[in-house]
Amino acid sequence: MVDDSYNNSRYARLIPLSNVGKEGLKRIRKARVVVVGCGGLGSVTAVQLTSLGVGFLRIVDGDVVEISNLQRQTLYREEDIGKPKADVAEAFLKKLNPDIQIEKVGEYLSEENIEKITSEVDFIIDAVDNFKTRYLLNRIAIEKDIPFIFGSVSAYSGNVMTIQRGSVCLECLFGQDFDEILTDTTCTGVHPAIINIIGSIQISEATKIMLGETPSLLNKLQFCDIRTMDFEALSLKPNHSCFCRKYVKK
Ligand SMILES: [Zn+2]
């Protein structure tokens, strides 16, 4: 059992923040979240959620650690090559903050396990590397009315958007024919700095959700490019023929 003084020390730089305080910290401590994907974005977001002290964190990945991951996936070390990412990530996060409940799922998200993976969580962090999986998450988030924080990176740029029932969703934005090649970082490469920026913006949105505030990136796509240093929030309108419209309250 962890006492209050221990918690107050651990979170001493969090409590003074204007929107946190001791009440906000209690809300964070009760939050239940799933991070889908334990790659680059998963490393950034899972570590920050663990440091923040969320009550429950589910991490999901069916992959094993490879040497090419180490350039950007900060959950892993050279000695972890060949081990399941979910196992290594769980051990890393537990050492970082033993005060939170971590549940690992050593599987890729699919139509078969998505219901279980998104059960009993307050919001979903997108840390996957393909749009097929993102679209599954986008659909279930709208259907189950769970906020979903989309993030994607490629080469020097990335995007973040927060999606919830009623807001613009991924299918509103990209339609059904999104070109998967554009986001395959095997071809494009990816700069570690953009991953840290995009993952951090996802967590700033997540914090607002945990604190009961309105996220800043509903109906807005935050675009970031570290090659040109263009950072722009593009205002978006829903597509009225999208599936998500049927879930909007009239
Ligand atoms: Zn939509």
How far is residue 66's CA from residue 166's CA, in Å, rounded to a whole number?
A: 40
Structure pTM?
0.95
- 245 CA distance to ligand 1 centroid (A)? 6
Confidence of residue 1 (pLDDT cuts 50, 70, 90): very low
- 191 CA distance to ligand 1 centroid (A)? 30
- 175 CA distance to ligand 1 centroid (A)? 8
- 21 CA distance to ligand 1 centroid (A)? 35
Whether residue 17 lies inside any domain: the answer is no
What average pLDDT is seen over the chain? 94
Whether residue 114 lies inside any domain: the answer is yes
Whether residue 18 lies inside any domain: the answer is no
pLDDT digits (tens, 9 = 90+) for 142-158: 999 999 999 999 999 99
Please tell me the total count of domains within the chain.
Answer: 1
Look up the CATH number of the domain holding residue 129. 3.40.50.720
- 174 CA distance to ligand 1 centroid (A)? 9
- Residue 215, classified by CB atoms within 10 Å of its CB into exposed (0-12), middle (13-18) or buried (19+), is buried
Whether residue 41 lies inside any domain: the answer is yes
One-letter identity of residue 183? T
Q: What Å distances lie between residue 230 and 41, 68, 115, 156, 227, CA to CA? A: 20, 28, 37, 11, 8
- 212 CA distance to ligand 1 centroid (A)? 23
How far is residue 212's CA from residue 210's CA, in Å, rounded to a whole number?
A: 6
What six digits make up the tokens of 67? 């040497």
Query: Which pLDDT score is estimated for 97?
Result: 97
Domain containing residue 128: 31-247
Whether residue 26 lies inside any domain: the answer is no
How far is residue 65's CA from residue 79's CA, in Å, rounded to a whole number?
A: 10
